[in-house]
Every structure is written in C-alpha cells, then in structure tokens.
Amino acid sequence: MYSSPLAALCPALAPADQGPGPYLRPRSRAGRDGAGLALSLSLTLPGSPRSAVIGRTAVGAALEAHGLAPYVWPATHAVSELLAVSARMTPGRELYVSLRRRDDAVRLLVWDQHPHHAEPDTAALCEVRRRRALWMLAAVVDDWGGEWGTCEAPQRERLGNKSWVVLPR
C-alpha cells in the first residue's frame, strides 16, 4: 500500500502512529526533500519528434525532485534519443516512457508500437536502422558506464519494441 509522507485525505489510509489528521508529518528529512522516496514515473506521449522535449523535461524534473541531480544530464539525453528514434520508427502512434530508480541505478524504458516483421530480412534491416539512429545514446550511456538495448516486446504483452537504458550510480 502506498503511503504518502505529506497527506492522506482518507482517514482509513492514515497510519496508526500518525493520528487521524488529514496531514501526515514526514518521518525523516529524506521524506521532505524526496531523496528517500522511490522514483517511479510513467507517461504516454504522442508519436511525434516533439515528444522528446516533453520526455526530457519530465525526466529532468523527476530526477531533480528526487535528489538525483547527477543523473539529469545522461538520463535526459537518453530519453530524448529514445523518444526521437521511436517516434520516427512509428510516427503517429503513442509512446510509453517509464523512469524508475531501483538497485542503485536509474532505469529508463521507452516502448513504441512498431509492428513485428514476419520476414527475417526486414526485421534485421529495421533493427540495424534503429541501432544506427541511436549512436549518440550509445556514446552517452557508455561514457556513464551504463548499458542499453532494444528488443521486440513479447507478443503476449504488447506488440511493439522496447528500448531501455540503465545508468548505475
């Protein structure tokens, strides 16, 4: 169950040790500045190159708010590249962005609705084009000591392509 350090308007959600009031006291300094809170951001954007700016702004703001300013430069570059390439691979279709902090690393995921290719030659050419377009992403992630990749989403989940970046501490 999610427990906000700032407010619970429903009295049933207020922890027993905090009393029945609508505003809960933060338990530690980490709770006030965001550094101790789990980072979890998800958003859906239109399949347009302009979405790269929106994703970059949202990711930068989320990292700053959670006390992860050192990650802003590589993460905003990474999400910009992933969104711009995904928008060119599937113009006009929605893009999904996920930003998480887990296991002492920042993790980015961009999912697009690029269809699966039945013909192996077409699938291989498409993959080569996507990877070539992400050369700047590869340089940034490598410089940071992280890893990145792309793959087709399993058909049982969704059709499309997943691209991810992991930036270690």
How confident is the chain (169 residues) per 10-residue block, as mean pLDDT? 52 52 38 59 93 96 94 96 92 94 92 87 89 93 94 71 92
pLDDT value of residue 3: 47
Residues 25 and 72 placed together within one structural domain of the fold: no
CATH of the domain at 119: 3.30.565.10
Residues 11 and 68 placed together within one structural domain of the fold: no
Q: Scanning the structure block, which residue is given the tokens 């703001």?
A: 61
H/E stretch holding 62? helix 51-65
Asked if residues 148 and 165 have their Cβ atoms less than 8 Å apart, the reply is: yes
Cα 158 to Cα 156: distance, rounded to the nearest angstrom: 6
Residues 109 and 133 placed together within one structural domain of the fold: yes
pLDDT value of residue 140: 93
Residues 65 and 114 placed together within one structural domain of the fold: yes
Tokens of residue 59, six digits = 């990711």
Residues 83 and 135 placed together within one structural domain of the fold: yes
Asked if residues 82 and 137 have their Cβ atoms less than 8 Å apart, the reply is: yes
Residues 16 and 82 placed together within one structural domain of the fold: no
> 3-class secondary structure for 71-108?
HHHHHHHHHHHHHHHHHHHCCCCCEEEEEEEECCEEEE
* Contact partners, residue 129, CB within 8 Å, separation at least 6: none
pLDDT value of residue 155: 64
pLDDT value of residue 8: 53
Residues 13 and 71 placed together within one structural domain of the fold: no
pLDDT value of residue 9: 60
Q: Scanning the structure block, which residue is given the tokens 């077409």?
A: 122
Residues 84 and 126 placed together within one structural domain of the fold: yes
What is the side-by-side order of every strand in the sheet holding 161-168?
40-45, 95-102, 105-112, 161-168, 147-152
Asked if residues 148 and 164 have their Cβ atoms less than 8 Å apart, the reply is: yes
Tokens of residue 4, six digits = 């906000």
H/E stretch holding 131? helix 120-133
What backbone phi and psi angles, to 5 degrees, belong to 21? -60, 155
Number of domains making up the chain: 2
Residues 29 and 76 placed together within one structural domain of the fold: no
Provide the domain limits for residue 120.
38-168
